[in-house]
Amino acid sequence: MWLLPSRGRPHLAQRLFTEGKFKTPGLLILDIGDAESYEQVKLPYGWEKIIRPRMFLSGKLNAGFQHAPNEKWYGILNDDHVPLTKDWDARLVEALDGPLVWPKDNYADRISTPVMDGDFVRKLGWVACPDLKHFYLDDVHELIADCFGCRRLEDVVVSHEHVNAGRMAPDLTWKERPSNADDQKAYLLWCRDKWPAIRQRLEC
């Protein structure tokens, strides 16, 4: 199941749904007070919408996991993603033969669209590191990928149309992001204090 948090960007969510041509299910995760602006967004078949109190990105993703805790797989999407490969979603799910798989992102060569095994997520307890708010989530997924020798699908592209890539103008959602410095500090502390025990528990 895909987890798609979005705020203030119904037009981007609709673009993703239209261009993505989804063959797989998902959740659109919205904030109370912002959900009305998404009423005209047409969800793909098999998708549903959930509304939660406003929270940061990691909290939204984990709220999606808590809403549907027994899925076979979980994938993370951003509303500024645009899939460029035919059958991209089905191919990623079919290629999942370990904890995690991901496509090329056409931006920073990072794991911005991970697809994770459901049993692995349940053992981990979250899809996004709860010690973080917004930044360094991909760093955590990259630690997991390195630990377990996970792979990227080189012939599947989900383009990250990020502000920093010059592909969209800064908007209010982008401007309201939490502090990068605070998340960097939290990430370094998590790596020092928590990751070793998590890694041992996951039997890496």
- What's the predicted TM-score (pTM) here? 0.96
CA distance 189 to 194: 8
Confidence class for position 168, pLDDT limits 50, 70, 90: confident
Q: Which fold has domain 2-201?
A: Spore Coat Polysaccharide Biosynthesis Protein SpsA; Chain A (3.90.550)
CA distance 163 to 159: 12
| pLDDT at site 109 | 87
Enter the tokens of residue 88: 């991209």
CA distance 182 to 1: 30
Average pLDDT of every residue of the chain = 96
Most distant pair of Cα atoms in the chain: their distance = 46
CA distance 73 to 171: 31
Of 14, 43, 56, 15, residue with least CA distance to 173: 56
DSSP characters over 107-120: SSSS-SS-EEEHHH
Read off the pLDDT of each residue in 168-195 and give the average, rounded to a whole number.
95
> Using one digit for the tens of pLDDT, what is the confidence trace for 30-85?
999 999 999 999 999 999 999 999 999 999 999 999 999 999 999 999 999 999 99
| pLDDT at site 97 | 93
Q: Are 124 and 202 in contact (CB under 8 A)?
A: yes
Q: Are 11 and 42 in contact (CB under 8 A)?
A: no
| Residue with token string 């979603």 | 89
